[in-house]
Amino acid sequence: MGNLRSVERAVEQAAADARVEVSVHIDARPEAVASSDRVIVPGQGAFRALCERLAAGVGQALREHIASGKPYLGICLGLQALFESSDEAPGATGLGLYAGAVRRLPDGTIDVATGTPVKVPHMGWNRITLCRRGAGPLAIYDDAPPFVYFVHSYHAVPDDPSLVAATADHGPYRITAAIQRENVTATQFHPEKSQAAGLALLGAFLRG
């Protein structure tokens, strides 16, 4: 949904760095998802448009991919799609793999630490805080949680807080920076824009 080529290049670079042989295909056909060993769902776009694509068949293929135990990595919109709904698109239905909703960061809030308005969209580098160690590919950050790059106005709020693997602070807001459970990892930040830290995460996903 907008940043496929940059993700493809980052995956290829991460594979080379990790000495992992991969064949990367940009393909949203259900049969392509079904035949893939690993799936990455990135996104810079609208939640409603993504939900329309999911309803066209690829959504069921993604559910079956995840249910089979194959690795899934969601990036930005690819994280938000795992939930039931989003403030961005009332009535649109996500994959619903996890209970919870995607909420908009409020406009106009004043950061008491600086006395200035908190900017939304949230754009830029933030250090993440890990909620638990050993969270799948995110375990690459266990010893030194890095600064990573965010571009978003919405973030996931799971009903089950144990799903959250990492957070980041933006003014007074605590953002869901990543979720992880079993074979599913998803980040609100963009690994493909996060330089060495992002490539390390992609490499861990490819190796795992």
List, by residue number, the catalytic residues: 76, 190, 192
Cα 190 to Cα 148: distance, rounded to the nearest angstrom: 7
Q: In a 3-state reduction of DSSP, which class is residue 95?
A: coil
Cα 93 to Cα 81: distance, rounded to the nearest angstrom: 9
Alpha helices in the chain (DSSP H): 4-18, 30-34, 47-53, 59-67, 77-80, 195-207
Residue with the two structure tokens 């144990």: 162
Question: Which is it for strands 147-152 and 173-181: parallel, antiparallel or unpaired?
Answer: unpaired
